Each structure stands twice: as C-alpha cells, then as structure tokens.
Amino acid sequence: MKPTINWQIASVKDIKPETNKVKSFTLRLPAWMRHLAGQHYDIRLTAEDGYQAQRSYSIASEPEREGEVDITVERINDGEVSTYMHDVLVPGDGIEARGPIGGYFVWEAMMTEPLLLIAGGSGVVPLMSMIRHRAAAGAKNPTSLLYSSRNFEDVIYYNELEKLRAANGGLQIFHTLTRSQPAQWKGYARRIDQDMLKEVAQPLGKTIQVFICGPTLLVEAAANTLVKIGVPSSQIKTERFGPTGG
C-alpha cells in the first residue's frame, strides 16, 4: 500500500532568486518522505475567510537531500499562489504542503539508458531534480539537456548547470534562446526544431529515454518531431503546463 500523503505545515528555510521572475524555496518538512526525481508538491493557501488556492510545483532538489525539498516557482502576475510566495513569504514562515506526488514522469539513477531532457522555461525544474539526482548518485549514463528560453536572463540554474557539466562526465547542456541572444552567444538561437533534435538526440543512440517538460506547444512539437526522426513514443515521457497558472 502507498503511504497516505497528508497536508503538513512546511517551514520556509531559505529563498533564493534564480531570475527576475523565478525563486527557489527550500521547505523543511516535518513528515518528509523521499521523493523520486520528477515528482511535485501541492502548495495550498487558506485565507481567514476559508477561501483556498492550490497549485502544484515540481521538486527541484535531488532525492538524496533529507528532511527538506526545493521547489522553484515562477511568479505569474495574476497568480494567487506564486505572487504570495514571491511577495509575502520570508524564511521562517509556514506554508501548507502535500507530497511527493506523481509516478509517471520520474527518473531513477538505476535506469542506465542514455537520457535526453528537453525543457521550455520553468519546465526545467523537474529535469533539474533528475540532473542533480544523477550527480548525487554518481550515475554514468550519457545525459543531454536541451533547454529553450526566451532570453539569457530567463535561464534558470545557468551557473549550476555549467558547474555540473564541468564536473560530470557524460552530461551535456544545450541552450537555445528564442527571442534575443547576448553578444558572442555560442548556443542555438531559434525554437526547437527537427535539425536541433537530430543533433542533440542521435549521438545518444537507440535506447534513449526522453523527458520533455514545458509549455504545451513546445512539448507536443518536440515529442512529435522525435517520433518523426525515429525515437519510439514508448521512450518519451511528457509533462506540460498551459500559458496560465500561479
């Protein structure tokens, strides 16, 4: 039997800005359970009049961390939960949390097939949990992240990804910036397309396992194109979010 996942009051241990619109929140959990990379937590706000707002946020931290998790949250201007978390929460505050949740979009280091991770915007968050888990577990499977952002300023975890790439044999990071690029930019500068996916995916071979997370249009286009170039749909897992949320 699966353990019952109840609401608990998480304590905000730390808040770290990632970009102008994105922050990571470290939550200490009195009823902590080890998560799988790719799972999420529900966060709930309850007003004095009883009104509740609830959203799901992917876990960014690796399962090896004990007693706490990081969730990385993009501030949505009219979002009820994300604006509260960005504008009101401070370390030491409590917030209602429930998790870990989800069993489909998950990766474990015992899975040894080559790994292709494709992210759009804040869709990188559950994939970052997988990359951190891979590093913490000492996994050696060839892994590539293809990460699409609008501008360089919007890239979440850029410095940490560079450090992980430098420290980890077999991890490659590919960025594409779709709106603007800084001077001397060496990455891609367009939306994810068939040529880009061929360049990134084909060196990983036939047994590649793919996880794609981001806005619905990006996820569907990337998944369909991978199938077109010969990746079986059974080896592709997707998680998508719409244009709104928060």
As a CATH number, domain 115-241 is: 3.40.50.80
Domains in the chain: boundaries: 8-101, 115-241
Residue burial 126-165, b: 16+ Cβ < 10 Å; e: rest: bbbbbbbbbbeeebebbbbbbbbbeebebbbbbeebeebe
Q: Which of 52-66, 82-96, 106-120, 156-170 has the lowest mean pLDDT?
A: 156-170
Q: Provide the pLDDT for residue 92.
A: 97
Q: What is the mean pLDDT of the chain?
A: 95
Is 8-101's fold the same as 115-241's?
Answer: no
As a CATH number, domain 8-101 is: 2.40.30.10
Q: Are 35 and 136 in contact (CB under 8 A)?
A: no
Q: Provide the pLDDT for residue 242.
A: 59
Q: Are 133 and 64 in contact (CB under 8 A)?
A: yes
